[in-house]
Amino acid sequence: MRRKIYLTAAAGLSLALSLAACSGGGAGSTGKTTGGASGAAEGGTVGVSMPTQTSERWIADGNAVKKGLEAQGFTVDLQFANDDIPTQSQQIDQMITQGVDSLIIAAIDGTALSSQLQAAKDAGITVVSYDRLIRDTENINYYVTFDNYQVGVQQATSLLVGLGIVDRDGKELGATGPFNVELFAGSLDDNNAHFFWQGAIDTLQPYLDSGVLVVKSGQTDITQAAIIRWQQETAQKRMEDLLTAAYSDGSKVQGVLSPYDGISRGIITALQNAGYALPDFPPVTGQDAEIASVKLINEGLQFSTIFKDTRKLADEAVSVTLALLAGEDPKPTANSVLDTKTYDNGVFIVPSFLLKSDIVYADNITSLLVDTGYFTQDQVDRGQM
Ligand code: GAL
């Protein structure tokens, strides 16, 4: 039996207003109760399960979702799972036992939550899969995320820009290389890692085929490139190993595809330890616009990152959750499109709301990240929240 929480028209209006307010909160918003709820959905509780606090984006995501829901009069149980699968399962079990009406989950391992989700379904709890697709279950309602294939395309495009092969519009500049590049992927248990990789490889493949790009290590398979749990230290170790194995002959790595800022920082440390220094630092890509990486981009040590506005994703999750609780079909917001073809979770194609991402380079940090209130100039300058 599905629970229904009835929202009045006033609640809908209040949602629109508070989502707009929520968008101004910045990446470091505290998630404090903002009040102003219409009271129409009073008493509802939403469990929000985020993977980890080691990456600031998930803290920003969790806080923004909490703030958006609290503005609607919901009680929010926000938990972070320390990147530990049993911890996340346990936290969700507890949310279900405590009688939440709805769940919003960014899974650590997309396949590890089947029994929790069965219990949620049996209890009539709606489930939104947040940013990462939950796989191998019929018991999720919707998926909110970014266009993950496109994120991979953007990462690879920025690498090609960094190498001087294409300009920012993707126009060929005629460089023939050959350029030595190395490739990194995310955690294989995260569905996103495969989408980022596919988008990137499809973009790089013509240049790998023509010999403009050369992966000297020969490690061109996602299973070789993957970094479990997206860990910085593991990425640093792999980069060190690659440098030892493929570049001890005096040759240099000239660019690195990285799918996430934490991984990028590991790669950059390994390169610095091996003597790479400005002004000849190879372009390293990234994702998430983490503040420490934004500083590195300012300094020229990281070349690019992909900005995914967590405030907008949080708005999306709140809006879908409210619709589900009201027994309505969720509608896209001004920021999203509904996709009913792409995200097959192994059991069904999960209806998904997709947002757009942007490539950040040193010269658009201000327009993308500061002018939009995501970070303050001071945070960018200090590289800290
Ligand atoms: C992915 C997410 C990325 C990045 C990564 C590591 O699922 O889409 O934006 O955050 O996890 O946390």
Q: Which residues contact 290 (CB under 8 A, 6 or more apart)?
A: 55, 56, 57, 261, 262, 305
* Residue % of the chain over a pLDDT of 70: 89
Domain assignments of the chain as residue spans, ordered by start: 9-140+310-356, 148-307
Q: What is the per-residue pLDDT for 10?
A: 39
Domain 9-140+310-356 has CATH 3.40.50.2300: yes
The per-residue pLDDT for range 159-176, each reduced to its tens digit, is 999 999 999 999 999 999
- Select from 131, 232, 290 the residue to mutate for testing ligand 1; criterion: most ligand atoms less than 8 Å from CB: 131
Q: With a 6 A CB cut-off, is 190 part of the ligand 1 pocket?
A: yes
Average pLDDT over residues 178-186: 98
Ligand 1 atom closest to Cα of 57? 10
CA distance 163 to 360: 16
CA distance 323 to 328: 5
Identify the residue whose tokens are 């999203």: 336
Question: Measuring from atom 6 of ligand 1, which residue has the nearest CA?
Answer: 230
> Is residue 225 exposed (0-12), middle (13-18) or buried (19+ Cβ within 10 Å)?
buried
Q: With a 6 A CB cut-off, is 293 part of the ligand 1 pocket?
A: no
Q: With a 6 A CB cut-off, is 74 part of the ligand 1 pocket?
A: no
295 C-alpha to center of ligand 1: Å? 19
Q: Which amino acid appears at position 121 of this protein? A: K
- Give yes or no for a contact between 254 and 282, defined as CB atoms under 8 angstroms apart: yes
Q: With a 6 A CB cut-off, is 131 part of the ligand 1 pocket?
A: yes
108 C-alpha to center of ligand 1: Å? 10
The structure tokens listed for 343 are: 């995200």
305 C-alpha to center of ligand 1: Å? 12
Number of H helices, E strands in the chain: 13, 12
Q: What is the per-residue pLDDT for 281?
A: 98
Q: Looking at the predicted structure, is the pLDDT value of residue 358 above 80?
A: yes
Q: Supply the pTM of this predicted model.
A: 0.92
169 C-alpha to center of ligand 1: Å? 25
260 C-alpha to center of ligand 1: Å? 7
264 C-alpha to center of ligand 1: Å? 13
CA nearest to 219, candidates 201, 206, 232, 202 = 201
CATH topology match: 9-140+310-356 vs 148-307: yes
Average pLDDT over residues 192-212: 98
φ/ψ of 188, rounded to 5, equals -65, -20
Q: Which amino acid appears at position 109 of this protein? A: D
Q: What is the per-residue pLDDT for 5?
A: 56
39 C-alpha to center of ligand 1: Å? 34
CATH of 148-307 given 3.40.50.300, 3.40.50.2300, 3.40.50.20, 3.40.190.10: 3.40.50.2300
Q: With a 6 A CB cut-off, is 55 part of the ligand 1 pocket?
A: yes
The per-residue pLDDT for range 130-169, each reduced to its tens digit, is 999 999 999 999 999 999 999 999 999 999 999 999 999 9
287 C-alpha to center of ligand 1: Å? 8
Ligand 1 atom closest to Cα of 306? 9
CA distance 264 to 63: 25
Q: Which residues contact 252 (CB under 8 A, 6 or more apart)?
A: 180, 276, 282
DSSP H helices in the chain: 9-23, 56-70, 85-97, 114-122, 148-162, 191-210, 222-225, 232-246, 261-273, 291-299, 310-325, 365, 377-382
CA distance 124 to 273: 54
Ligand 1 atom closest to Cα of 288? 9
- Give yes or no for a contact between 305 and 297, defined as CB atoms under 8 angstroms apart: yes
DSSP conformational letter for 55: S
Q: With a 6 A CB cut-off, is 189 part of the ligand 1 pocket?
A: no
Q: For residue 4, name the pLDDT band (cuts at 50, 70, 90).
A: low
Q: With a 6 A CB cut-off, is 260 part of the ligand 1 pocket?
A: yes
The per-residue pLDDT for range 238-279, each reduced to its tens digit, is 999 999 999 999 999 999 999 999 999 999 999 999 999 999
Average pLDDT over residues 355-377: 98
Q: How far, CA to CA in Å, does 296 sit from each of 227, 262, 309?
A: 21, 12, 19
- Select from 288, 310, 357, 360 the residue to mutate for testing ligand 1; criterion: most ligand atoms less than 8 Å from CB: 288
CA distance 269 to 180: 18
355 C-alpha to center of ligand 1: Å? 14
